[in-house]
A and B are shown apart, each in its own frame.
Chain A
Amino acid sequence: MTLNYFKTVYRIEGRFPNHPIVKVVVAIYIAAIAIAFILLGCEPAVDPTRQFLVRKGEHYASPKVSESLQSNTLAFDARFNESAIYNLGDNSLQSDKNKLMGFCDCNSMVHENSARFAWQWFNNQLEIYAYCYVNGTRMEQFVGVVQLNEYNHYQIERNNDAYVFTLNNEPSVAIKRGGTCNAGLYYKLWPYFGGHIAAPHDVIIDIKTIY
């Protein structure tokens, strides 16, 4: 089978012969075009920024998202606005930690082994905490203070022994990790208001996940 054969058939019949080689060539062309579309598409696939809303009187934020962690590091940027300011009228309630984002450790439930950033409006400032459950025991540690209406960078690194929390370029905070497996399902945890008290008004948080 030579190129001349194809040329001859095309000259006589006005079309290429119905031969498997022709089909393969056509398939390669289609594949090349599809690959070009996939690889050279300049638009980002999806905007990874989500706006979460905790409605007045509720704990859970919407939209509801179900996603698993796929890396040793969970990194994201988050922005609060004035809706993060609230007054519950009692210091013990005011210091309840609201959850920002984190993950459940290997095949664990949230109250068994998990690591999250938490936040509270306290002393007229937005305070960020490391908030973990380690073998069922809750652990909290102050991480830093952030300003409203600006994005800040949050990172939780899961290593063999500890969860390492980093806020922007501030010194990291490490909390010892519990005895759990290594290979399994790690699902992400999303914004939650409370503590004991539900949101006193609508609370809006923008989160940009970094993949």
Chain B
Amino acid sequence: MKKFLHLLFTLSMMAVAAKAQHVLASPIIEKTIAGNQYGGQLLLETKSQWGFGVFYLKSLQRSEGGQSYYPFYGASLNAPLIKSGKIHFFLNVRAGFVNTNFFVIAPGFETRLAVTKSVSLSLLSSIRMQSPSTALRINIKL
């Protein structure tokens, strides 16, 4: 399964990279039911604002059941929904592995506020561990 996902990811990455207009680098902080997680994301974004990239999240402290301590990493897909002035709305899906073995899909809804041409803030509301989670990203256009 990992090989298949790796192939799928590589092909998708190549397709998006061919059309990519810019790269967004984003530090992330996310509050989940199991505690806070920190990490980053690299996103290739097309002119039509479809985004595809990779992310990595990890907690600094072990939770009681240990679920948030192990890193969550994988691929992230952004689909544009509505654009209104400086505020953009996206559908977001993150898929990846926790603790190297456990496949996880986390759907979400992202609200992005453009601050300058190269800096924007994103608030991502998603479902992690069957519970709501909130993430904040500071997107820097490279």
Contact = CB atoms under 8 A, between A and B. Distances in A.
In the complex, which range does the number of interface residues on chain B fall in? 35 or more
Given A183-B100, A211-B129, A71 B66 contact: yes
Contacts of A46: 33, 131-132
A35 B70 CA distance: 22
B29 interface: yes
A34 B136 CA distance: 7
Interface centre among A41, A46, A182, A211 (most CB of B within 10 A): A211
Interface stretch (A21-29, A108-116, A198-206): A21-29
B115 A70 contact: no
A41 B121 contact: no
Contacts of A107: 1
Interface in B12-63: 29-36, 63
Contacts of A72: 99, 101
In the complex, which range does the number of interface residues on chain A fall in? 35 or more
Contacts of B136: 31, 34-35, 38
B33 A45 contact: yes
Nearest to A72: B99
B119 interface: yes
B103 A184 contact: yes
Interface of B: 1-2, 29-36, 63-68, 70, 72, 97-105, 113, 115-117, 119, 121, 123, 129-134, 136, 138
Interface of A: 20, 23-24, 26-27, 30-31, 34-35, 38-39, 41, 44-46, 48, 65-73, 75, 106-107, 181-186, 209-211
